[in-house]
Amino acid sequence: MAKRQISEERKVLYYIGMGVTAIGVILFLSVFVRALNPSSMLDDMVSGNPMASFMGPPLIGFIMIAVGNVLRTIAARGAYGSGLMLDPEKAREDLAPWSSMAGGVIKDALEEVNIAGSKEAIKEVIKIRCPHCTALNDENSKYCGQCGQKMI
């Protein structure tokens, strides 16, 4: 039951990711704010660093947006579910809250395959022994597949 819930750590990680993204967006947009304020750009030129207002905060902001998105993806889908670590079984566990929300499509489909497979196995269990060599043969076979003699 616990596996179907998103853990507290992952929720916290999700909010951290959201915070990092938000700060990144503010930093990224700061270049436009500064562009609307000529005196601040003049300050940069006077200080001998005319590109500072374009390359500094926006670049850091862009990186923070990217990092924040990665953190949120990992938090939402788990380390395995997001493909950070490869393990199909654990990915299924990580994605359990999501697949159960969507009507359990992935999980149910996998379980249906298993049920279909086990039905097939039950059908093939019916075998009869050859009276001559005791080899197992299909129920309706007339001759033994092992020794070739009649099954009666």
Residues in the site for Zn ion, rule: CB under 5 A?
A: 130, 132-133, 135, 144, 146-147
Q: How far apart, in Å, do the first and last CA atoms of the chain sit?
A: 55
Q: Which is nearer to Zn ion, 55 or 133 (CB)?
A: 133
Q: Which is nearer to Zn ion, 6 or 151 (CB)?
A: 151
Q: How far is the CB of 148 from Zn ion (least distance, A)?
A: 7
Maximum alpha-carbon separation in the chain: 106
CA distance 81 to 89: 10
With tokens 């930093």, the residue in question is 27
| Distant-in-sequence, close-in-space partners of 83: CB < 8 Å, separation ≥ 6 | 91
| Beta pairing partners, 136 | 129
Q: How far is the CB of 147 from Zn ion (least distance, A)?
A: 3
The three-state secondary structure class of 128 is strand
Q: Which is nearer to Zn ion, 106 or 128 (CB)?
A: 128
Q: Which is nearer to Zn ion, 101 or 147 (CB)?
A: 147
CA distance 151 to 134: 10
Q: Which is nearer to Zn ion, 118 or 141 (CB)?
A: 141
Q: How far is the CB of 136 from Zn ion (least distance, A)?
A: 10
CA 127 to chain centre: 43
Q: How far is the CB of 132 from Zn ion (least distance, A)?
A: 4
| Beta pairing partners, 137 | 128
Q: How far is the CB of 124 from Zn ion (least distance, A)?
A: 19
